[in-house]
Amino acid sequence: MTTPDSEVVADQRPAGDGDALLEVRGLRKHFPVTRGALVKRQVGAVKAVDGVDFAVRPGETLGLVGESGCGKTTTGRMITRLLEPSDGQIVFEGQDITHVSQGRMRPLRRDLQMIFQDPYSSLNPRKTVGSIIGAPFRLQGIETENGVKRAVQDLLEVVGLNPEHYNRYPHEFSGGQRQRIGIARTLALRPKLIVADEPVSALDVSIQAQVVNLLEDLQEEFNLTYIVIAHDLSVVRHISDRVGVMYLGKLVEMSDATNLYDSPMHPYTVALLSAVPIPDPAKRKGRERVRLQGDVPSPLNPPPACRFHTRCWKAQEICGKVEPPLVEVVPGHRVACHFPENAPEGAGEKVTKAAEQADLA
């Protein structure tokens, strides 16, 4: 399995301290908005991700949820270095990979892989399944014991496809099967961290469950760490150990899944959870729903301070002036809000105080 290339990289890595597999600090991505045909002037920036901090521990599943435009996909793409971060730091196994060049990144790709949302556009229609799944071996120059073909067939079996499908083309498969092909490709090099961007949203309900179960089985079998990006809150709860909620480029709440769903603290999380339709007609009546007004503001010109204050029913003067940082108010539960719900006495003050301290510093 080893090549000269990987040995070099292995040397650079400090011995894993086992604390966090991936750490993201103050990550930002601003897409410039330019005007003018010949001389391009920057007239603004879409602040897709604007200062996000979190860590992923080995073996866990971190879910990132939020509505479209909240920056969850951009975050995922920066972690896998498909997008260049504007600011901040990404540390993978103790190594800063924020601005590592493409060439130096390549050996790291082995450990850091991505599952894409759309099983139709993420597979090359002119390549056979065998060559699609075999590509990582060829690109990384990896020799397998019994040849690439054998390795690919083993992978097909792992993800629940027939090894005889080796010579078929993607169009011969259904959506769920294609997603399995994508997962097999992702697994080929036994990565440590997989970023799954909406892995099941393009699939039918009955197939979704198959793929969710498959992802869980693979995690157990290969000791994988996942970052699952999804908008479906029930899927995220099912699959994640910890969940982060994003709104307009910022993390507004982060906690272990049970806490977050049982006692959400940020008003946005509360609104998000109460908007999910419950598949039980008996609960239709008497359900109190937080109705959010209007749409998510444009990330071109996000509201100042707390970005949710324009739609928040608890907002007061301070919310438009002082930005609440993400503060741990209960062990393991971080929230960025001056007036959190379901929180112990004094939690809001804790956030406000942290904001003042950050201001002074």
Partner 1 sequence: MTEDQTTDKTAEPASAAAPKSFLDVRDLRIHFPTDDGLVKSVDGLSFQLERGRTLGIVGESGSGKSVTSLGLLGLHNRRNARVSGEIWLDGQEVVGSSPEQVRRLRGRKMAMIFQDPLSSMHPLYTVGAQIIEAYRIHNDVSKEVARKHAIDMLGRVGIPQPDKRVDDYPHQFSGGMRQRAMIAMALSCDPELLIADEPTTALDVTVQAQILDLIRDLQDEFNSAVIMITHDLGVVAELSDDILVMYGGRCVEYGSAEDIFHRPEHPYTWGLLGSMPRLDRDRSERLIPIKGSPPSLINVPAGCAFSPRCAYSELNEGRSETERPELREVAPGHRVACHLGREDRRRIWNEEIRPKL
Please tell me whether residue 289 binds partner 1 under the rule CB under 8 A: yes
Residue type, 116: F
Please tell me whether residue 97 binds partner 1 under the rule CB under 8 A: no
Cβ(337)–Cβ(266) under 8 Å? yes
| H/E element, 305 | none
Please tell me whether residue 205 binds partner 1 under the rule CB under 8 A: yes
Cβ(289)–Cβ(274) under 8 Å? yes
Cβ distance to partner 1 smaller for residue 255 or 352: 255
Q: Please give the radius of gyration of the chain, using alpha carbons only, rounded to the nearest integer.
A: 22
Rounded least distance, CB 30 to partner 1, Å: 21
Rounded least distance, CB 1 to partner 1, Å: 32
* Side-chain half-sphere CA neighbours of 193 within 13 A: 21
Rounded least distance, CB 252 to partner 1, Å: 14
Distance (Å, rounded) from C-alpha 81 to C-alpha 100? Answer: 9
Please tell me whether residue 121 binds partner 1 under the rule CB under 8 A: no
* Interface segment toward partner 1; rule CB under 8 A; list 43-51, 142-150, 230-238, 332-340: 230-238
Distance (Å, rounded) from C-alpha 46 to C-alpha 63? Answer: 24
Please tell me whether residue 361 binds partner 1 under the rule CB under 8 A: no
- Per-residue x/- track, 30-69, partner 1 (CB under 8 A): -------------------------------------xx-
Please tell me whether residue 280 binds partner 1 under the rule CB under 8 A: yes
Burial of 337 (0-12, 13-18, 19+ CB in 10 A): buried
Interface residue with partner 1, options 233, 306, 327, 329 (CB under 8 A): 233
Cβ distance to partner 1 smaller for residue 280 or 345: 280
Please tell me whether residue 234 binds partner 1 under the rule CB under 8 A: yes
Please tell me whether residue 291 binds partner 1 under the rule CB under 8 A: yes
Interface residue with partner 1, options 97, 230, 257, 319 (CB under 8 A): 257
Cβ(315)–Cβ(309) under 8 Å? yes
* Interface segment toward partner 1; rule CB under 8 A; list 161-169, 285-293, 317-325, 333-341: 285-293
Distance (Å, rounded) from C-alpha 346 to C-alpha 329? Answer: 9
* Interface segment toward partner 1; rule CB under 8 A; list 34-42, 204-212, 301-309, 352-360: 204-212
Please tell me whether residue 277 binds partner 1 under the rule CB under 8 A: yes
Q: Supply 20's token pair.
A: 């966090």
Please tell me whether residue 271 binds partner 1 under the rule CB under 8 A: yes
Interface residue with partner 1, options 53, 216, 256, 328 (CB under 8 A): 216
Q: Supply 149's token pair.
A: 């073909």
Please tell me whether residue 314 binds partner 1 under the rule CB under 8 A: no
DSSP letters, 148-192, are HHHHHHHHHHHTT--GGGGG--GGGS-HHHHHHHHHHHHHTT--S
Please tell me whether residue 235 binds partner 1 under the rule CB under 8 A: yes
DSSP annotation of 85 reads -
Q: What are phi and psi of 115, to 5 degrees?
A: -110, 130
- Per-residue x/- track, 161-200, partner 1 (CB under 8 A): -------------xxxx-----------------------
Cα separation values, 191 from 53, 80, 146, 224, 322, Å: 23, 12, 20, 7, 41
Rounded least distance, CB 270 to partner 1, Å: 11
Interface residue with partner 1, options 57, 127, 168, 231 (CB under 8 A): 231
Cβ(182)–Cβ(122) under 8 Å? yes
Please give the sequence-ordered ranges of beta strands (E in DSSP) within 16-94, or none if there are none: 22-35, 41-56, 61-65, 87-92
Please tell me whether residue 282 binds partner 1 under the rule CB under 8 A: yes
Residues lying near partner 1 in the complex (CB under 8 A) are found at 67-68, 174-177, 204-210, 212-213, 216, 231, 233-235, 237-238, 257-258, 261, 271-284, 289, 291-292, 294-296
